[in-house]
């Protein structure tokens, strides 16, 4: 089954960002969103049910945030984590270091619009990162 899509769980509290991410991933043949959650604790339950290959999580969420989620996931069910957030910039070394230390493998800027001009580039970049992370599944 080498051609089966990479199963992704999205953890995102913004309905707009979640919708954009789902569309980006579900319209690409290489990826399939198998579950979504609004915060980290709900995400842990969704992951247990869906057995994804890669997790995309927001950083700042009510309840369990992305950092705490990543720490708990790595203790119980280590999977590749892509942090999708506008709160993480290359200049924000502390956040990046903490997330990497917790087990996150990469970062992606949160899409704020689904504008057609950016769509292909966004999709290509996001799917490319997920394909790389899927090879890191333990």
* pLDDT (tens digit per residue) in 28-66: 999 999 999 999 999 999 999 999 999 999 988 999 999
pLDDT given at position 1: 43
Residue 79 in contact with residue 105, Cβ under 8 Å?
Answer: no
User: Would you say how long the chain is, in residues?
Assistant: 138
pLDDT given at position 138: 53
Cβ contacts of 100 within 8 Å, gap of 6 or more: none
Is this prediction's pTM over 0.75?
A: yes
CB-based burial, 81-109: b 16+ in 10 Å, e otherwise: bbbbbeebeeeeeebbeebeebbbbbbbe
pLDDT given at position 92: 65
Q: How far apart are CA 37 and CA 11, in angstroms?
A: 5
Q: Which domains does the chain have, with CATH numbers?
A: 6-132 (3.40.50.2300)
Return the bridge partners of 8, or none.
33, 54
Residue 83 in contact with residue 66, Cβ under 8 Å?
Answer: yes
Ranges in the chain, pLDDT < 70: 1-2, 87-93, 113-114, 137-138
pLDDT given at position 123: 93
Q: How far is CA 2 from CA 6, 30, 56, 71, in A?
A: 10, 11, 22, 30
Residue 70 in contact with residue 94, Cβ under 8 Å?
Answer: no
Q: How far apart are CA 107 and CA 90, in angstroms?
A: 10
């Amino acid at each position: 089954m080498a051609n089966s899509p990479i199963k992704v769980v999205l953890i995102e509290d913004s309905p707009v960002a979640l919708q954009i991410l789902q569309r980006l991933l579900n319209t690409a043949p290489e990826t399939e969103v198998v579950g979504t959650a609004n915060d980290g604790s709900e995400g842990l339950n969704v992951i247990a049910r869906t057995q994804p290959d890669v997790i995309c999580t927001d950083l700042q969420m009510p309840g369990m945030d992305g950092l705490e989620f990543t720490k708990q996931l790595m203790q119980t069910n280590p999977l590749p984590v892509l942090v999708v957030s506008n709160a993480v910039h290359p200049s924000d070394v502390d956040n990046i270091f903490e997330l990497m230390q917790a087990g996150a493998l990469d970062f992606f800027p949160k899409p704020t619009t689904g504008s057609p001009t950016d769509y292909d580039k966004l999709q290509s970049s996001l799917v490319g990162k997920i394909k790389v992370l899927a090879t890191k599944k333990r």
